[in-house]
Amino acid sequence: MTDANEGDASPPRLTPRPLYRPAVAAADAAAFSRPDGVTGSSAPTGTAVEPELTVRPPDPVLAEAFGRPDGESDPLQRGPAGTAAGDTGAAAPADPWRDPDAPAHLGDPATPTPAPAPLPPGRKLGVREVLFGDRVAPRALATLAAIALVIGLLGGAVGRLTAESVSALTSQKVELTQSGRGDREAGQVAKVAEAVLPSVVSIQVALGEQSGTGSGVVIDGSGYIVTNNHVISMAAVDPDNATLRVVFSDGTRVPARIVGRDTKTDLAVLKVDVGNLTVAQLGESADVQVGDDVVAVGSPLGLSKTVTSGIVSALHRPVRLGGEGTDTDAVIDAVQTDAAINPGNSGGPLVDDEGRVIGINSAIRSESGGSVGLGFAIGVDDVTRVAQELIRTGSMHHSEIGVNARTVTNEQTTGAQVANVKSGSPAQQAGIVEGDVIVKVADREVGSADELVVAVHGTEVGQPVPVALIRSGRQVEVQVTPVSD
């Protein structure tokens, strides 16, 4: 038989500790213990009955002093001004004397204050009555007289100072004089302008809503005028609908016709039916030197008869011409100048200090597109050659050798590297192949692809010319016979 507690897993339970009650001192027991005979709470049992309050009648003296008169029922506080009798507005607090939020208010006065009676209008006094009628006190008159005197003195002083200041700035005695030029000789630029301006014209082109302005110069008394191709190309593309006019220095406007034009040199020749024309004198490119004084004449920005001066800053500068709105695709052998050239100068002459035309202004190179830069003119030898051919035949042809090239610059050489050779061209017949670097044509050094074009155009058709080139690091010279384009 097993024990009943066997197998019980719960731990043994502890017995409660005995309650510890400390001893209470006799003095504390007497102060905080229950009164004798009380066993429960110290609060008394049952409901306490509050004693009744007895309201005594007021003292007769106070009632007589503060009570309402006999037959009155209104309170002592009056309502707001203008409130009807018996209408107290908002409900008053139960005890306004003890309500801290009760507003302070003053009622209507016991007796209304009568309005002051209007005074009768006073009569205006005359000067005689003021001075001699004893209507104004003598002291007041003396004060007014003193004030008037002071005001007059101040006004006079201010007027005197103002008059002195004005007189110091203006004078009727000063007479300005001018000195004339007398017999002084005119400057060289003035002489050139006077000689050249009558031969320079403005060219106006219009096609529909499009228009343009350029310049030109009379080169023959029969009415032939040379200008740039890009000036008149808009009229050349659609001659039936375009309007082409020439404006002379005296303001005469006449229609013009296109004789011929050359897109590869950007030159064109016009013809007008006007007699007795002033013809410009053409110079020679061989006489032009770097540093020579030059004058550019034309209609820049539409301003006709404009003259600017400068110098020749470089010669034989290859410049490619073209752009939107024109069929010009040219490389010119340019005369470079620092004379101010702007849009509208195109086609006008560049003249030397003797008044001879040494070029036709054609292009500018500037960061801003204005005259703060360099100008380029087609050399007069090319102008004469092309214009003469256009007047004779109406067209112009140039020498070609049948190569396309690109500019190359490296440690070995600088020149025009052949990109491709046209089949059957003079270049192929001379043995020029792709990759050759052309460095010289005849007597002209070639440093770029544009300079190769200028050099080839400077040769004569059918006349063999030597061409120096670099091939595989060695210089080779071949003979090439240019053909017409």
For the annotated catalytic residues, the residue numbers are: 230, 266, 346
Tokens of 76: 């002592």
Q: How far apart are CA 393 and CA 441, in angstroms?
A: 28
**Which structure tokens are listed for 100?**
């801290």
**Sign, CA torsion 395/401/406/409:** negative
Query: 483 — phi, psi (to 5°)?
Result: -120, 165
Q: Are 203 and 270 in contact (CB under 8 A)?
A: yes
Residues 284, 285, 291, 297, Cα dihedral to 10°: 70
Hunting for tokens 């470089």 — which residue is that? 314
Give the span between the Cα atoms of 315 and 441, in whole angstroms.
18
User: Which residue in 375, 340, 342, 347 sits closest to 205, CA to CA?
Assistant: 347
Q: Rounded to 5 degrees, what are φ and ψ at 186?
A: -65, 150
Question: Cα dihedral angle (279, 285, 287, 291), rounded to 10 degrees?
Answer: 100
Which one-letter amino acid corresponds to residue 177? Answer: T
Give me the count of residues in the chain: 485
Distance CA 229, CA 347 (A): 8
In this structure, how many other beta carbons lie within 10 angstroms of the beta carbon of residue 226? 27
**Is-contact 399 456, C-beta < 8 A?**
yes
**Cα(126)–Cα(97) distance, rounded to whole angstroms?**
66
Contact 452, 408 (CB under 8 A): no
Q: How far is CA 187 from CA 190, 191, 194, 353, in A?
A: 5, 6, 11, 11
Cα-to-chain-centroid distance, residue 73:
88
| Coil, strand or helix at 282 | strand
**Pairing between strand 243-247 and 267-271?**
unpaired
Nearest to 274, CA basis, from 255, 259, 261? 255
Contact status, residue 301 vs residue 414, Cβ threshold 8 Å: no
What is the distance between the alpha carbons of residues 442 and 455, in angstroms, rounded to a whole number? 8
